[in-house]
Amino acid sequence: MFGRPLWVILLLLLVASLVWWRVPADDGQLSRTALVMGTLVEIKAFDDEKDKLDSAISAAFAEMTRLENLLSRHNPRSEISQLSAAAGPFTVSQETAELLQLGQSIARRSDGAFDLTLGALKKLWAIESDSPQIPTAAQLQSALSGIGPDALTLEGLQVQKQQPGLQVDLGGIAKGYAVDRALNVLRQAGIRSAAVNAGGDIALLGDRQGQPWRIGIQHPRKNGEVLVTLPLTDCAVVTSGDYERFFERDGSRYHHIFDPRTGRPARLTQSVTVVAKDAASADALATAAFVLGPQAGLQLLEDLPDVEGLLVGADGRLFRTSGLRRGD
Ligand code: AMP
Ligand code: MG
């Protein structure tokens, strides 16, 4: 080497430094977690440029926080809290209108099993608080009065509640939507391979280094055990389960997914996993199928194009849509 002219050495050093810069950190993968929407969110992405990965993941988390501020019912300034407080017609942003529209279409399609107007019911049970309660029949009746797919109408950006006290709750769809938007931020930053996982609401961009992502579905009764592993590419997969948020009293489990017909936790299902093109739809469909149970729930998923799912019934039996029956 020392016998070579200086310019050759400099050229070699330059090439070496360029190669070094292109060497991906940790095989080009970066993974970060943060608490957003009350859930531990993990964003994992692949790219050769570590700085690009880092800033894209930061932007994706920022997008999820922005949506939490827009859609959360815990934040009194959010659009959804303002809509719930409004006595008359209320104008929302384009984004909120689209999400309400999607939620309402799944509410109708599921005969009201998915219901984003059950905010008062959710408050009554307070399942996620330190002091959850089992409401009386009279309390349930009052929280259920006037809710359902027709309780809310949208005209453009204007939302009309049929009764002023109606409380909107996007808990069954907002996390999926936020996961979709986070993935979109990564896509727009030029990332080709990424996974965003918000506590079982997962959106996948591309594949994982030439192979499908292998998504383990949580066993609803064996903590930490995988029920089924799904090989998936470029899609969303969302699970709703009765093990996620619940309390137990006198040997009964009271969880966070309500049957709008009874006002009580839905009883036919332990968990539902939905695979769809986008996580917002998969999220709402998983909640809907959970309420509907093995027969009607699986049928709902089977009837929709580009949607597959698996459901564990109350007795632990596993059901799958036709597209998932061909092995794991
Ligand atoms: P998920 O974990 O996606 O099934 O959503 C559960 C959350 O959705 C609950 O914490 C409630 O905020 C809300 N929710 C409960 N029951 C329903 C229902 N039948 N339809 C729509 N949202 C619901
Ligand atoms: Mg859901």
pLDDT (tens digit per residue) in 189-205:
999 999 999 999 999 99
151 is a domain residue = no
Residues 69, 168, 252: CA angle, nearest 5 degrees: 105
Q: Is the CB of 232 under 6 A from ligand 1?
A: no
Cβ–ligand 1 distance for 68 under 6 Å, the answer: no
Residue 272 within any structural domain of the chain? yes
Q: Is the dihedral of CA 173, 178, 181, 182 positive or negative?
A: negative
Whether 210 is in a domain gets the answer yes
Closest residue by CA, ligand 1 atom 1: 172
Judge if the beta carbon of residue 260 lies within 6 A of ligand 1: yes
Question: 114 CB under 6 A from ligand 1?
Answer: yes
- Report the nearest-CA residue for atom 3 of ligand 1: 172
Q: Ligand 2 centre and the CA of 115: distance in Å? A: 11
Host domain of residue 294 = 6-46+192-326
Predicted confidence (pLDDT) per residue in 155-169, tens digit = 999 999 999 999 999
Ligand 1: residue of 147, 201, 257 to mutate (most ligand atoms within 8 A of CB) is 257
Q: Is residue 152 part of a domain?
A: no
In a domain, 10, yes or no: yes
Ligand 1: which of 114, 129, 144, 256 to mutate, most ligand atoms within 8 Å of CB?
256
Q: Cβ contacts of residue 30 below 8 Å, gap of 6+? A: 44, 45, 46, 47, 50, 53, 54, 57
* 0.85 exceeded by pTM: yes
- How many Å apart are CA 288 and CA 275, to the nearest integer? 14
pLDDT of amino acid 17: 43
The residue whose CA has the least distance to atom 12 of ligand 1 is 171
Number of domains observed in the structure of the chain: 1
Q: Of the ligands numbered here, which is closest to the C-alpha atom of 274?
A: 2
Whether residue 292 contacts residue 268, with contact meaning beta carbons closer than 8 Å, is answered with yes
> Which amino acid is residue 113, in one-letter code?
A
pLDDT means per 10 residues in the chain (328 residues)?
49 46 62 96 97 97 98 94 96 97 98 98 93 96 96 97 96 98 98 97 96 97 96 98 90 94 98 98 98 98 98 98 80
DSSP helix/strand/coil, 201 = strand
CATH of the domain at 305: 3.10.520.10
12 CA to centre of ligand 2 in angstroms:
56
Residue 16 lies in a domain: yes
Helix axes 50-71, 174-188, angle to 10 degrees: 150
Residues contacting residue 221 through CB under 8 Å, at least 6 positions apart: 243, 270, 316
- Which tokens hold the place of 326? 């061909």
Predicted pLDDT at 24: 46
Q: Is residue 156 part of a domain?
A: no
280 lines ligand 1 (CB under 6 A): no
Is residue 68 in some structural domain? no
